[in-house]
């Protein structure tokens, strides 16, 4: 097996040569302006190494990858009571589908589809104004990444609000079932803004360190969440983190991952490393096309899989 530095460089070089890069998310106008030729990848190991390749220091809109961090915050606030309002099952439907909400009485299948993340945003609003809740989310991400330079891209947030008709429908529908406790406009304000957080692959991989290290920040040893909660968040990433492509990602890559329509993916190799990859072009499920391929290749090269008895031995 190659060393991780060599593996990342090889993967990045191969991705740079690929012609079929998927399609950028034009339904959010600001995302449609991103250069599809961009590709970055980063690994932050539990022993403190930071390994980068490609455009790993260029910020991008993390979109639904942010749902990992809002879920973590919400669980810290309300604990397992969250699961009374959001399920823990794969959806099998597109991320913005309204179909299952009707059959399941306004309870979203999981916290990573849009409807579920809107409920999580509603939970984070409790006792706060939207601006305060948004600030708390941003500070939490900055804390995890140890980087105060992380910002919310206000232009992306405005672009999402201007075209977010399906999300408004989801929020209003859940409100009709009593599963939003605030006005839909307020919960959506929080949702649109946390999806518009801009981070580089380096920053994103840094922010995911606690999930690769049993809930602890490996740099400080301080606990972010319990080891059990870190495992459970990882389980949801594996089963639900790629929407109706989650099963295929688990089959091909074999590690927990969370994607976003900005082209980013956060991957977790438990006990080993936090990974982040960015390529703006998406596949038919709304996940980064080259990002998914890159993580599959990297996992294979390094022998990483949560289903392998040797997982975690190679760094």
Contacts of 142 (CB under 8 A, 6+ apart): 148, 150
For residues 38-67, one letter each, b for 16 or more C-beta atoms within 10 angstroms of the residue's C-beta and e for the rest, the string is bbbbbbbbbeeeebbbbbbebbbbbbbbbb
Which of 38, 67, 175, 258 is flagged as catalytic?
A: 67
Which of 253, 261, 269, 277 is flagged as catalytic?
A: 261
Which of 24, 38, 44, 64 is flagged as catalytic?
A: 64
Distance CA(170)–CA(93), nearest Å, equals 14
23 φ/ψ angles, rounded to the nearest 5 degrees: -120, 135
Distance CA(76)–CA(55), nearest Å, equals 33
Q: Assess whether 27 carries a catalytic annotation.
A: no
Q: Assess whether 175 carries a catalytic annotation.
A: no
Which of 65, 243, 246, 274 is flagged as catalytic?
A: 243
Distance CA(199)–CA(216), nearest Å, equals 21
Q: Assess whether 261 carries a catalytic annotation.
A: yes
Q: Assess whether 200 carries a catalytic annotation.
A: no
Q: Assess whether 64 carries a catalytic annotation.
A: yes
Which of 66, 119, 175, 191 is flagged as catalytic?
A: 191
CA distances in angstroms from 298 to 178, 253, 291, 293, listed in the order given: 44, 9, 10, 9
3-state secondary structure of 187: helix
Catalytic residues: 64, 67, 191, 243, 261
């Amino acid at each position: 097996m190659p060393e991780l530095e060599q593996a990342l460089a090889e993967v990045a070089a191969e991705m740079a040569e690929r012609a079929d890069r998927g399609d950028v998310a034009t339904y959010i106008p600001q995302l449609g302006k991103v250069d599809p030729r961009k590709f970055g990848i980063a690994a932050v190991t539990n022993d403190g190494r930071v390994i980068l390749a490609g455009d790993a220091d260029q910020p991008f809109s993390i979109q639904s990858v942010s749902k990992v961090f809002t879920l973590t915050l919400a669980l810290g606030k309300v604990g397992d009571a969250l699961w009374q309002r959001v399920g823990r099952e794969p959806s099998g439907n597109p991320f913005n589908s309204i179909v299952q909400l009707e059959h399941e009485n306004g309870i979203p299948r999981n916290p990573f589809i849009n409807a579920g993340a809107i409920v999580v945003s509603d939970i984070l609003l409790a006792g706060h104004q939207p601006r305060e809740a948004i600030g708390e989310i941003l500070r939490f991400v900055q804390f995890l990444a140890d980087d105060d330079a992380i910002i919310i891209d206000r232009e992306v947030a405005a672009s999402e609000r201007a075209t977010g008709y399906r999300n408004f429908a989801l929020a209003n529908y859940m409100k009709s079932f009593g599963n939003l406790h605030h006005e839909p406009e307020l919960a959506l304000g929080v949702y649109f803004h946390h999806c518009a957080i801009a981070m580089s692959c380096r920053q994103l991989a840094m922010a995911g360190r606690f999930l690769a290290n049993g809930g602890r920040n490996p740099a400080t040893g301080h606990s972010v969440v319990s080891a059990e909660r870190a495992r459970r968040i990882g389980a949801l990433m594996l089963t639900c983190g790629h929407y109706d492509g989650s099963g295929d990602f688990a089959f091909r890559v074999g590690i927990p991952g969370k994607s976003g329509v900005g082209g980013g993916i956060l991957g977790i190799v438990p006990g080993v490393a936090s990974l982040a990859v960015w390529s703006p072009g998406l596949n038919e499920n709304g996940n980064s096309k080259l990002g998914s391929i890159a993580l599959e290749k990297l996992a294979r090269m390094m022998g990483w899989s949560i289903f392998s008895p040797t997982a975690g031995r190679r760094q």
